[in-house]
Amino acid sequence: MTTELLKAGTLSRAVEVSLDLERRVTLEPIMSHPDYRMNLRPLGTPRGVSTVAGPHDIGASPGDKKSKNKSTRGKKKSIFETYMFKEDVSEGLKRGTLIQGVLRINPKKFHEAFIPSPDGDRDIFIDGVVARNRALNGDLVVVKLLPEEQWKVVKPENNDKETEAAYESDIPEELCGRHLPQQSLKSYNDSPDVIIEAQFDGSDSEDGHGITQNVLVDDVKKLSVCVSEKGREDGDAPVTKDETTCISQDTRALPEKSLQRSAKVVYILEKKHSRAATGFLKLLADKNSELFRKYALFSPSDHRVPRIYVPLKDCPQDFVARPKDYANTLFICRIVDWKEDCNFALGQLAKSLGQAGEIEPETEGILTEYGVDFSDFSSEVLECLPQGLPWTIPPEEFSKRRDLRKDCIFTIDPSTARDLDDALSCKPLADGNFEVGVHIADVSYFVPEGSDLDKVAAERATSVYLVQKVVPMLPRLLCEELCSLNPMSDKLTFSVIWTLTPEGKILDEWFGRTIICSCTKLSYEHAQSMIESPTEKIPVKELPPISPEHSSEEVHQAVLNLHQIAKQLRQQRFADGALRLDQLKLAFTLDHETGLPQGCHIYEYRDSNKLVEEFMLLANMAVAHKIHRAFPEQALLRRHPPPQTRMLNDLVEFCDQTGLPVDFSSAGALNKSLTQTFGDDKYSLARKEVLTNMCSRPMQMALYFCSGLLQDPAQFRHYALNVPLYTHFTSPIRRFADVLVHRLLAAALGYREQLDMAPDTLQKQADHCNDRRMASKRVQELSTGLFFAVLVKESGPLESEAMVMGVLNQAFDVLVLRYGVQKRIYCNALALRSHHFQKVGKKPELTLVWEPEDMEQEPAQQVITIFSLVEVVLQAESTALKYSAILKRPDTHGHLGPEKEEEEEEESDGEPEDSSTS
């Protein structure tokens, strides 16, 4: 197929490139630079750092018009501060006068940003675009605290401020358990060890870009945003001064608790944001300006990214004459510069994606924005793979490995999974104990250190699971054939084998390289049916093929034995103080021809999932101890810091005020509180979900780290699992961290020489794995949000009961029970006569007074508090992929209408706990 160009038929100096020839359209100014490619950056280039010094052949930037005048008279005044010198930054960080942290911009109020406080106290507030000083979301920045009189005033009566937690979930997978990936259209699936964390939908409440104007406040130049109601696509209430009060004339009289430290960015240590954005092209407003003749305005869909000037000569040829033809065309733009004297950044148009609202263009935009390399693997990488196919295990490997091919070993995965990287075995012993094995694909055998394959895997760091497909870390030949533990096929593995009592007590432990031959590929449904029918023989037609050496009864009994041991392990884990924060996950059914979502459901997390989860956790903990004993300075481990202190204290105070019986003294105490039943009615699970969501806000991310670079072993701990050492070993097909751990384990066992990686080099790779893991998780969440938005657009409006999760001054957040999504409902989008916000103690309360449909009726009052049950309607908006939630009008007494009660009973028959999407 030939490349489709933009509507104009051509683009100025457009060229076809080899990546994705069927759809890719790029522009020569970007592609002409040898290092500046859309998806395949040169290895070693920090992600998000442009290798282009500036735009090619586009003349001075919009901010340069007067800067070339040697006279200072009339010179354009800088909006942003010049960054500090690197030496001064290093000295300031050492002295403690400067603070570094990852910048989080609030997606619901893009003028608000935060970095974590190093002491775990309330996050440090950064107010406005000017104070952010051209840093973007996710960048590692250095900030300087402002004088105390410029700190943010946190008004206790004002509940419309956002929490400091970014609305991109930070909950580590170990808190959520082990979930299935989303079944995909093309059957590209993750192993069952993947977990998609909480799915916050941040797309519904972003402030629209409005008119920007510079305002001087106490001699600090600030950029305020004025948004008209007409331009507010989301129906958000206007941002008022009360909501964002940051400067107080006299803060000395205020109690300390009502102030939040505020700061400004003085340096960007690492540009982790990709500097790419999807969005729309517009003409500049002032047709008579010099800029109008040279530049168009690129408006990013993500309002946390600034608007960008792009050269007109890089736009479609007829864009100026027919701008409306491109009103719904999605483009990708990359920021190449952002000068001190310019409100907006300067960028280059990279490509046209297609029509906004269509799944593939939107998906490609998401991947590009988050720096996911989705290009085809290069010929150099593919040459690293075995060339003679079909490949067979070399004879010398049999002498180096323990041969387990005759053992009853099997996989348990989603029914459509194709990359199977873990298998299980359970052999009963004569003394009543069991020999239990976890067998993991030996990916490191096929990925030589220092090879092109190794480099690209290290750079990608993780596979990225979307609703409809996967972007793999490794070529498919490895993922789905050579490494995948497919049944009735000899495979190279790395195993952990224990002798366990029926109660799960470890009597003996063995690590080693092995060869297995899986006897069958069980789905979670198969394993679940075996668990639920312990004494009944499963009909052969309901089971997958099983190798002749083993019977279905043998496999069935092994599953039952594993289940019984897993129950004991799980019970002991939580008795020892582990925490689990389950959150609802969506799974979609897709049309095989169109790829569009036909429906969705909340995925149920069952005993078969828990079975596999327990043994993967056990293996990961065992390997963590093994490699740390062998290499105390060089072990790649995974830690989970405790919750942020101030946010946790706020939550404790809130729960005390509202009478919620939650004990936050430890992970185990919190888990015990959350597992207590919240009543015995059909909404008890919904109440638990709301509280779980509240408890997830103070949680921090789990992180890979090198043991040699953390002095205090107490910092090694994993808060959620409540264990001293943990790592990732069980998913090397999709996580590069696991490949490194396999190499460390092999060295610890004497299979190979010690890893040739200094601790600081290993830490850099760990940091990169952390970055890519967070990006991957966010992409997965956005993919889920995209498909749900399409479902609302195609099938909506959708009605459901919802439970209130949070109450603000002019809006409230709900958990939509049927679909497990979270949404904000705005008062100004409802037919209200008035609304009133107040706090009863710490408990926020919003009273809605509805306009009566019949003028003879009295207006209905509805009181909205946390845990209130309401009826909502999800409906598509005019913009391509936005959907909003509105409240159904109650009857005159403020209750749900009786016409819904029968349907509500039907909806509550199931007990949705979890879903899984990857």
Question: Does pLDDT of 509 surpass 50?
Answer: yes
Per-residue confidence (pLDDT) for residue 776, from 0 to 100: 95
Structural element, H or E, at residue 362: helix 359-369
pLDDT of residue 454: 97
Say what the pTM is. Answer: 0.80
Q: What is d(CA 504, CA 526) in angstroms, rounded to the nearest whole number? A: 24
Which phi and psi (to 5°) does residue 709 adopt?
Answer: -105, 5
pLDDT attached to residue 155: 67
DSSP label at 714? G
DSSP string, 552-569: HHHHHHHHHHHHHHHHHH
Task: Return the closest-CA partner of residue 916 out of 620, 523, 582.
Answer: 582
pLDDT confidence of residue 285: 87
Dihedral sign of CA atoms 832, 836, 837, 841 in order? negative
**What's the maximum distance between 2 C-alpha atoms anywhere in the chain?**
94
Q: Which tens digits make up the pLDDT trace of 666-723?
A: 999 999 988 876 767 778 888 888 888 889 888 989 999 999 998 899 999 999 999 9
Average pLDDT over residues 597-614: 92
CA 390 to chain centre: 38
Residues 562 and 500: beta-carbon distance below 8 Å: no
Determine if residue 712 is labeled as part of a ligand binding site. Answer: no
Backbone angles phi, psi at 459, to 5 degrees: -70, -45
422 labelled binding-site residue: yes
What number is the average pLDDT over the span 775-789? 94
Q: What is the mean pLDDT of the chain?
A: 80
pLDDT in tens, 188-241: 233 222 222 222 222 222 222 222 222 222 333 332 223 333 333 333 333 333
| 3-state secondary structure at position 531 | helix
* 236, 427, 444, 511 from 514: Cα distances, Å: 59, 16, 13, 9
Q: Check residue 167 and give its pLDDT.
A: 38
The pLDDT confidence band at residue 880, using thresholds 50, 70 and 90, is low
For the beta carbon of residue 696, count every other beta carbon within 10 angstroms: 20
> 3-class DSSP state for residue 750?
coil
What integer is the mean pLDDT of 654-658? 81
Lookup: tokens for 53: 């010094």
According to DSSP, the β-strands at 402-403 and 99-102 are: unpaired
In angstroms, the CA 741 to CA 847 distance is 55
Give the pLDDT mean for 73-81. Answer: 73
Give the whole-angstrom CA distance, residue 520 versus residue 409: 8
- In the sheet that holds 140-145, the strands lie side by side as 99-102, 140-145, 263-270
Q: Which of 409, 413, 405 is nearest to 522 (CA)?
A: 413
CB contact at 8 A, 297 and 309: yes
**Chain centre to alpha carbon of residue 394:** 41
Domains of the chain with bracketed CATH:
79-152+197-209+257-272 (2.40.50.690), 275-370 (2.40.50.700), 380-642+700-783 (no CATH), 796-887 (2.40.50.140)
Burial per residue of 431-455, b for 16 or more beta-carbon CB atoms within 10 angstroms, e otherwise: eebbbbbbbbbbbbbbbeeeebbbb
pLDDT at residue 793 above 50? yes
Neighbours of 857 (CB within 10 A): 12
